[in-house]
Structure 1
């Protein structure tokens, strides 16, 4: 079985949680989200990183 950090995550991640997974600062993650380099969706005024797209980004 292939266990990795993405297996148990929800469909959407708060930006600070995504930053922790990526090993970058919260500010850097928000900059990447704003520039479009992190795959995000906005819901209810909040910004979330799409887990499946983040997985693909990390894998490439």
Structure 2
């Protein structure tokens, strides 16, 4: 499993977005990104955690 993927790849695989819409979503913060040098990447773990339903704690 890859640890990071490109912004267009994340948009396509997780949200069914095109290239430009993916970058716009990343700019808004809807897709989590990290910058590695000049390259913008999406950490898969952060994206999947963001999309997973929150678990409610049972007391």
Bin the TM-score by the shorter chain: 0.7 to 0.9
Aligned-residue Cα RMSD (Å) equals 1.2
TM-score normalised per structure 1: 0.73
In structure 2, the gaps of 5 or more residues are: 54-59
Equivalent-residue separation in structure 1 for 2:30 and 2:52 (angstroms)? 14
* Larger CA Rg, structure 1 vs 2: 2
Deviation at 1:21, TM superposition (A): 0.6
Moved segments of 4+, more than 4 Å = none
Structure 1 residue 25, shift from structure 2 partner: 1.1
Q: CA deviation at 1:42?
A: 0.5
Where structure 1 has 5 or more consecutive residues not aligned to the other structure, the ranges are: 1-7
Number of residue-to-residue matches in the alignment: 52
TM-score (norm 2): 0.74
The CA deviation at 1:58 is: 2.2
Number of the residue aligned with 1:39: 32
Aligned to 2:19: 26
